[in-house]
Chain A
Amino acid sequence: MAPKAPLLNTISLKGIEIAPSQVWGAIRIVPLLRRQVRGDLRLAKRTYDDDLTVVSLQGKPLDKGLKYISYVPHGLVPFWNEEGQPVAAKGSQLVADGQRFHSGPVSVRVLSRMAKREARNQLRFLPLHLAMEGFLSLFFSGPDIAWSEYSKQALSQGLSPRTEWSVSGHAIQGLADALRVFEIHEHQVGMLLFVSEALASAFITPTPEDYRLLHHSLLQDFYGELLYQYGLYGGTVPIQTHVDETKVETLADLRDAISSLRQDWADFQGLMASDLLQRPVESKRIYTAGPFTLQRFITDLKLKAENHIGEAIVRNDGQLEYLKTYRLSAGQARRTYLLSQLAAQGWHLERTALSMGEPLENFIYRLEKAGFGYLINNQVREQAQKARRCD
């Protein structure tokens, strides 16, 4: 039995090169190249084309239990070879996945689990939704001690139903055109997507062939609402690169200067993505498949910085085979931050307010503004409102 792949502490692009970016409007796409492709893991897209998808997280698909509900345009199907032999690409549509229900013009698909093994060497998971589900389920059970400040609903059901919303890639202005005119490199396996110079998503596949087929699927993914605004109002900063002509005597010097120019691009773009690439992440194993592990992660939460969630398939030598990330919008990060602060203080409101250095009524006001008013007892909310008015 091969050793299990390690859990990710940071996202490192080991074995992956960063190539110079291509810009279209407010969109900057940075290609990621992999020179040595093993080919023992392939990824295929399975299109769903339903208006709504219900994923049952516990129990049988149609039984009662925890459900994840969203629009899911496609799933991803990895298949692999445990002996390290290359596997041929094959269709992903052969299996009937879940059950479909029609109601007038609307179709609903009911799927079982976020990640499900379909054959000995084949898995199916829902990209980004896997990470989003992990994000939504953080602190999901709610207060574990029945403090009297909480509402009945919070005590009996926890945070359920927990909702977040985001926008489709189609809504980000210029993204469709940017993906259309993007020139895919020969060895390209992934990309870093920047909207107005802010990292929107990182995407890595196991092989260049898979990437070519999945390139346009980025348009169907979802993005934080902030990036939609950035697409509307933002732009890219022109980056000027120059060769120092005083150091160039011959053509060979010029050739060296150009290759160092290329390296500068790689370094600089790595720096642009440092809020993802150099941040500690907390990850959780979802599925172990031979030498590969599917895991999801979240960067440590900082209110003033970019925060990402994502999922990855990691080989047992630590190489990233698959990666997809989602940048949390400011509101999403704030909500999780508040919950994490509460959880750290055993869900005690006053202690948490004290630890954050603000009066209780302000803290309650923040919770309400973040959309967690339903967790708190109405009486406590009214008291807090009154106290704020008196100030």
Chain B
Amino acid sequence: MASTWIQRRQQVEREDLVMFINACLSCTGQREFYDDAWGQKLSLDFLHDYILGNYRLLYTRTLAAGINHFNQSQIILKLLATGQHIRPEHREEEGALIAASLNALPPQRAWKVLEQIRKRRINNRRTRAITRDYITQHQQRLDFDAVKYRSKVRAIATHNHLKLPGEVGSFLFRNWPQRFETSLFEQFRKAYYSQDAIYDLPFTVAEGLAAKHQIPRDRFLARIEAQMTQAEKVRMLQSTEHDHKSKLTVDLKRTPITKLALYCLSLSIQDRQERHAELTKALEHSAQAALHRAPLRLEKVATVLDCSYSSSGSNEKRRRPLGVALAVHYLLQAASADYQAFWTSSVSDPLLVQSRGQTDIATPLLDALDTNPDIVVILSDGWENDPPNGASEVLRVFRNHIDPSISILHCNPVFNADDFSVQALSPAIPTVGLRDAEDLPTVLGFAQFADGQSSLTDLEHYLKVRVQQFLATFHLNHGS
């Protein structure tokens, strides 16, 4: 009796954790095709609180599981806010993980986390120490960050009573001298008073000052181009205010593959046809670069990719599911020896794909299984309607009665707020969340826990190993 009780408890714990990690892989609290942003945020927030309250150690270790930045930020904030519940033996590991994750976050996100600490009125010794350490470790780029994230750095310094080094303090708190020693501060000071000086500043900083000086948007955009970063250029190309006559010089090959796929999808069909060779080459190059960072080698792969109307996402995540599908297509093509893709509607050229039509996963899935591959990857939001339950029945019958040896994996880029999880096509196969195609190698590693075959101990071990690897790279980079 006791053993079944323990087994049952372990099963529940494993299911909870898998659900949570899946949510953390896919959800960003933004509006989706079927759900609104409020529902997504509410659902995810509850899930965070639930896991934090019940499994604090595993909640902390999820930081190292390759989850997305939004959820990393949420976990850091929730852990810092509830420091009193920590067990003494876990204190050191938790502190190290928080510091390492905060450092690994892109600067804009890390500064936002620190600013949120103030907004959520979190104030304790550990939090202040972590903030202080973050600033000490980013000493060399603090000048730049102080200009680019002025309000955030100012708020953080106020909240934590920090002494800022050099001229940063006097810059942020408007104790401006006649002339700054630091060149960036001096540029900003000049730009604050003079229109012509703004073009030496980073794009986003100059953008605010341009509005202050009432410079017309088109004139501003024409002159600021040299100061834009790669990502800003790609974003500008995608936006509607982009003037098609001006030529932004972007090196597409350096763009991460999911972002690049989303950029390609933002172009009209005609543009995509005209620039076909260039875009294909960039996508292939970007896929190789992603594989270089996270190696993945597969033999015979077939993919089932959803390009139905629901893959158009929402106005907050425009065409995201389709973009992930396209990126996965190029990534797996580069990673496997023998590759075939099957889209939900007939697609002659993947670059020209559009989100249109109903979701018929059963037919492409049957086509994919016909090719007798080693692994089938299904990328879909889990809603199918032609016929409803079609793919689910195919998977059930195929797994149980025809061939259980082929491994089939369902990757879902959309978090379903109603059941706190990514929607599964069928319980017969593992379902995992996937926000960026680049995470595919991580997700493939995690997938073994999602289908319910492995035990809680295995999952705990997996997380422990990930934590060790994660902390090792952090210590390697920071030499502490």
Q: Does any Cβ of A come within 8 Å of B49's Cβ?
A: no
Q: Which of B10-18, B282-290, B330-338, B392-400 lies on the face that meets chain A?
A: B392-400
A183 to chain B, nearest CB (A): 4
Q: Identify the interface centre among A19, A185, A186: most chain B CB within 10 Å of its CB.
A: A185
Given contacts A248-B397, A248-B402, A258-B366, are A183 and B387 in contact (CB under 8 A)?
A: no
A240 to B396, CA, bound (A): 14
The stretch of A65-73, A167-175, A249-257, A285-293 in contact with B is: A249-257
B389 within 8 A of A: yes
Give the chain B neighbours of A249 by CB distance below 8 A.
401-402
Give the distance to chain B from A22, nearest Cβ to Cβ, in Å. Answer: 5
The answer to whether B389 and A245 have CB atoms under 8 Å apart is: no
Alpha-carbon gap, A262 to B362, bound state (A): 11
Other-chain residue from A186, A254, A262 in contact with B394 (beta carbon distance below 8 A): A254
Question: Is B366 a contact partner of A255 (Cβ separation < 8 A)?
Answer: yes
The smallest beta-carbon distance between A182 and chain B, in angstroms, is 8
B389 x A240 contact (CB < 8 A): yes
CB distance from A86 to the nearest CB of B (A): 22
A19 to B385, CA, bound (A): 9
Which chain A residues numbered 229 to 286 have a C-beta less than 8 Å away from chain B? 239-243, 245, 248-251, 254-255, 257-258, 261-262, 265
B366 in contact with A254 (CB, 8 Å): yes
Compute how far the CA of A251 lies from the CA of B399 in the bound complex, rounded to whole angstroms. 11
Asked whether, in the complex, the Cβ of A243 is within 8 Å of the Cβ of B359, the reply is: no
Known contacts A183-B310, A251-B370: A258-B388 contact under CB 8 Å = no
CB pair B358 A181 closer than 8 Å = no
- Is B369 part of the contact surface with A, judged by Cβ < 8 Å? yes
Does B133 lie at the interface of the complex (its beta carbon under 8 Å from any beta carbon of A)?
no
Given the interface pairs A20-B388, A183-B357, A183-B358, the reply to whether A251 lies near B402 with Cβ below 8 Å is yes
Min CB–CB distance A31 → chain B (angstroms): 7
State whether A185 and B390 are in contact (beta carbons under 8 Å apart), knowing that A245-B397, A245-B400, A254-B366 are contacts in the complex: no
Does any Cβ of A come within 8 Å of B34's Cβ?
yes
Q: Would you call A184 an interface residue if the criterion is a C-beta within 8 Å of the partner chain's C-beta atoms?
A: yes
B285-309 CB mask vs A (1 if < 8 Å, else 0) is 0000000000000000000000011
With a cutoff of 8 Å between Cβ atoms, the chain B residues found around residue A265 in the complex are 387-388
How many Å lie between the Cα of A243 and that of B362 in the bound state? 12
Given A258-B366, A265-B387, A183-B401 contact (CB < 8 Å):
no
- Which residue of B369, B388, B394 is within 8 Å of A241 (Cβ)? B388
A245 to B399, CA, bound (A): 11
- A181 near B386 (CB under 8 angstroms)? no
- Give the distance in Å from the alpha carbon of A257 to the alpha carbon of B397 in the complex: 11
A352 to B310, alpha carbons, bound, how many Å?
A: 57
Interface flag for B171 (CB, 8 Å): no
A interface residues, tally (CB under 8 Å): 28
In angstroms, Cα B162 to Cα A362, docked, is: 88
The distance from the CB of B34 to the nearest CB of chain A, in whole angstroms, is 6
Shortest distance from the beta carbon of B294 to any chain A beta carbon, whole Å: 33
Interface of B is mostly: helix
A182: nearest residue on chain B (CB-CB)? B309
B345 touches A (CB below 8 Å): yes
> Looking at the complex, which one of A181, A186, A261 makes contact with B345 (CB distance below 8 Å)?
A186
Q: Which residues of A contact B309 (CB under 8 A)?
A: 183-184
Which single member of B345, B357, B387 contacts A258 (CB below 8 Å)?
A: B387
Give the CA-CA distance A261 to B356 in the complex, in Å.
23
Instruction: State A255–B362 Cα separation when bound (angstroms).
Output: 9
Option from B34, B393, B400 in Cβ contact (under 8 Å) with A261: B393
Nearest chain A CB to B42 CB, angstrom units: 18
Q: Which residues of A contact B308 (CB under 8 A)?
A: 183
Known A-B contacts A22-B385, A31-B358, A183-B385; the reply to A261 vs B390 at CB < 8 A is yes
B415 interfacial by beta-carbon distance below 8 Å = no
Interface centre among B310, B363, B385 (most CB of A within 10 A): B385
Q: Are A20 and B33 in contact (CB under 8 A)?
A: no
Complex alpha-carbon distance, A239 and B345, angstroms: 25
State how many angstroms separate the Cβ of B417 from the closest Cβ of chain A: 14
* Residue with the greatest number of chain B CB neighbours at <10 A, chosen from A21, A186, A242, A258: A258
A255 to B366, CA, bound (A): 7
The A-contacting residues of B in range 381-420, CB under 8 angstroms, are: 385-390, 393-394, 396-398, 400-402
Contact with A along B350-370 (1 / 0, CB 8 A): 000000111100110010011
CB nearest neighbor in A for B393: A243
Whether the Cβ atoms of A20 and B387 lie closer than 8 Å is yes
Is the CB–CB distance between B402 and A20 below 8 Å?
A: no
Cβ contact within 8 Å between A262 and B387: yes
- In the assembled complex, the CB of A91 is this many whole angstroms from the nearest CB of chain B, namely 22
Known contacts A251-B369, A254-B402: A243-B386 contact under CB 8 Å: no
Closest to B363 in A: A258
The residue on A at minimum CB distance from B346 is A186
Question: CB-CB < 8 A to A184: which residues of B?
Answer: 309, 356-358
Q: Is the CB of A183 within 8 A of B393?
A: no
Min CB–CB distance B179 → chain A (angstroms): 58
Q: Is the CB of A185 within 8 A of B370?
A: no
Give, as a whole number of angstroms, the nearest-CB distance from B220 to chain A.
37
A257 to B345, CA, bound (A): 20
Complex interface: chain A residues within 8 A of B388 (CB): 20-21, 23, 239, 241, 265
Give complex CA distance A345, B12 in Å: 72
Question: Which residues in chain A, 197-247, are within 8 Å of chain B measured between CB atoms?
Answer: 239-243, 245
Distance of B381 from chain A, by nearest CB (Å): 11
- Nearest CB of chain A from residue B153's CB, rounded to whole Å: 42
Say whether A19 contacts B386, CB under 8 Å.
Answer: yes
| Chain A residues at the B interface, C-beta cutoff of 8 Å | 19-23, 31, 181, 183-186, 239-243, 245, 248-251, 254-255, 257-258, 261-262, 265
What are 5 inter-chain pairs, A to B, with CB distance below 8 A? A20-B387, A185-B357, A245-B396, A245-B401, A251-B398
Q: Which 4 A-B pairs have the closest CB atoms?
A: A183-B309, A20-B387, A243-B393, A183-B358
